[in-house]
Amino acid sequence: MTDLISLTLAEARDGLAKKSFTSLELTDAHLAAMEAARALNAFVLETPDRAREMARAADAEIAKGERKPLAGIPLGIKDLFATEGFRTTACSKILDNFVPTYESTITSQLWRDGAVMLGKLNNDEFAMGSSNETSCFGPVANPWRRHGANTTLVPGGSSGGSASAVAALLCMGATATDTGGSIRQPAAFTATVGIKPTYGRCSRWGIVAFASSLDQAGPIARTVRDAAILLRSMAGHDPKDTTSADLAVPDYEAAVGKSLKGMKIGIPREYRLDGMPPEIEKLWQQGSEWLKAAGCELVDVSLPHTKYALPAYYIVAPAEASSNLARYDGVRYGLRENGRSIGELYENTRAAGFGAEVRRRVMIGTYVLSAGYYDAYYLRAQKVRTLIKKDFEDCFATGVQAILTPATPSAAFGEGEKGNASPIEMYLNDVFTVPANMAGVPGIAVPAGKDAQGLPLGLQLIGRPFDEETLFSLGEVIEQAAGRFTPPRWWGP
Catalytic residue ranges: 78, 158, 182
CA distances from 352 to 84, 178, 328, 358 (A): 26, 27, 12, 12
CB 131 within 8 A of CB 139: yes
Which pairing describes strands 193-196 and 216-221: parallel, antiparallel, or unpaired?
antiparallel
Separation between Cα atoms, residue 86 and residue 138, nearest integer Å: 20
Provide the strand spans (E) within 70-137.
74-78, 116-121
Alpha helices per DSSP H over 18-71: 23-36, 48-63
Strand partners, 298: 265
CB 461 within 8 A of CB 444: yes
CB 286 within 8 A of CB 448: yes
Which pairing describes strands 216-221 and 173-178: parallel, antiparallel, or unpaired?
antiparallel
Rg of the Cα atoms in the chain: 21
Fill in the amino acid letter for 264.
K
Separation between Cα atoms, residue 282 and residue 304, nearest integer Å: 23
Burial class (CB in 10 A: 0-12, 13-18, 19+), 287: buried
- Of 356, 354, 335, nearest to 345 by C-alpha is 335
- Of 165, 123, 170, nearest to 29 by C-alpha is 170
- Give the three-state DSSP class for 413: coil
